[in-house]
């Protein structure tokens, strides 16, 4: 579980992310593909506005980080898409690194805010990894 302070800090960044979320995610993909070029091919069929989709997901997450039920359907959709494109657990630290670096560069936040986002990212990553594990197992048993 996330600590109440972490939840509160992440929630407080929602308005700033609404303003600059797309800038953050555009930068995130640049960092991701330059530091981890092996992730590029996962996105070969991704829509051009993928950065907007991710920005919206991050904004939704920041506003609902204390109400994950509200995100339930969104989490299912993401996990399904990730399994279709063969996203694996080892990719999560790469995206996490790129996202945190992009947040640092674009929003120039206090250390405390950055730390809270790191925790919140890892929390969501663990939920997605678990969900995706179940979906990969289902695929194995039906094939
Ligand atoms: C907490 C972390 C993550 C969040 C919040 C997230 C969010 C999303 C969202 C909202 C979508 C769009 C789903 C849809 O089309 O309806 C998506 C798709 C996708 N994500 Fe993630 N994602 C995360 C982690 C990752 C990781 C670690 C990778 C691997 C590098 C990844 C690769 C992809 C790919 C390849 C797609 C599909 C693009 C396409 O072809 O349409 N994501 N993700």
**Strand, coil or helix: 13:** coil
Phi-psi category of residue 38: left, alpha or beta, with phi > 0 → left and psi -120 to 50 → alpha: alpha
- Among 22, 51, 61, 132, which one carries the catalytic annotation? 132
> Catalytic residue at 132?
yes
Angle of helix 4-12 relative to helix 14-35, nearest 10 degrees? Answer: 90
Number of domains comprising the chain: 1
Domain extent, residue 19, equals: 4-142
25-77: pLDDT as tens digits: 999 999 999 999 999 999 999 999 999 999 999 999 999 998 888 888 999 99
C-alpha R_g of the chain: 15
**Ligand 1 pocket check for 126: Cβ under 6 Å:** no
88 lines ligand 1 (CB under 6 A): no
Q: pTM for the full model? A: 0.95
In 3D space, the residue among 75, 76, 91, 78 whose CA is nearest the CA of residue 42 turns out to be: 91
CATH number at residue 123: 1.10.490.10
């Amino acid at each position: 579980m996330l600590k109440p302070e972490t939840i509160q800090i992440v929630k407080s960044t929602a308005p700033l992310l609404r303003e600059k979320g797309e800038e953050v995610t555009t930068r995130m993909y640049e960092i991701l593909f330059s530091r981890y070029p092996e992730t590029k091919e996962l996105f070969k069929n991704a829509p051009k506005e993928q950065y907007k989709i991710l920005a919206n997901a991050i904004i939704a997450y920041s506003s609902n980080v204390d109400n994950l039920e509200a995100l339930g359907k969104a989490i299912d959709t993401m996990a399904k898409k990730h399994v279709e494109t063969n996203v694996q657990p080892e990719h999560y630290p790469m995206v996490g690194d790129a996202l945190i670096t992009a947040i640092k560069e674009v929003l120039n936040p206090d250390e405390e805010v950055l730390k809270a986002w790191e925790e919140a990212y890892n929390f969501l990553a663990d939920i997605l990894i678990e969900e995706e594990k179940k979906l990969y197992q289902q695929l194995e048993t039906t094939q």
